[in-house]
A = this chain, B = another copy of it.
Amino acid sequence: MKATEIRNKLINKNLKVTPQRVAILNAIAKLKNHPTAENIIDFIKKNHPNVATATVYKVLDVLVANELIKKVKTEKDVMRYDAIIENHHHLYCSESDRIEDYVDDELNKMIEKYFSKKKIKDFQINDIKLQIIGKFNK
């Protein structure tokens, strides 16, 4: 992801462009497998040794609040972050910590169609995410 692209993302959300925010957005884009805050902190500190841990958490919160990244729910007790904002699902490995994105428009359409007919009592749906649990072959 280009620096200007990242800058524009921040500007579009009326967020101040700071080196820390740019570095963190960059880190999340580079780090695969939905990094934890710790992964991001480690990565950042390689090139920016004097970035405070609390800053990373604060920036992550801001980015989530502004929908530039997402928090991912897992069974484990640490939060993980996802660079991709477009609608997608997750593949979870039951044997490792690996998480991958899964994009499937046909599936989305099928589910959307299903719930356009079948309403859930007393509940309005905004979004549906699939947690697909299984095993990677490689």
Contacts and interface: CB of A to CB of B under 8 A. Distances in A.
Interface string A101-138: 01010110010001000101011111111111111111
Nearest to A100: B123
Contacts of A133: 125-129
A69 to B, nearest CB: 12
A27 interface: no
A76 B94 CA distance: 21
A123 B93 CA distance: 9
A129 B130 contact: yes
Given A79-B77, A137-B122, A129 B127 contact: no
A9 interface: no
A-B pairs with lowest CB-CB distance, top 8: A73-B73, A125-B134, A129-B131, A122-B137, A126-B134, A127-B133, A124-B134, A124-B135
Interface of A: 71, 73-77, 79, 91, 94, 100, 102, 104, 106-107, 110, 114, 118, 120, 122-138
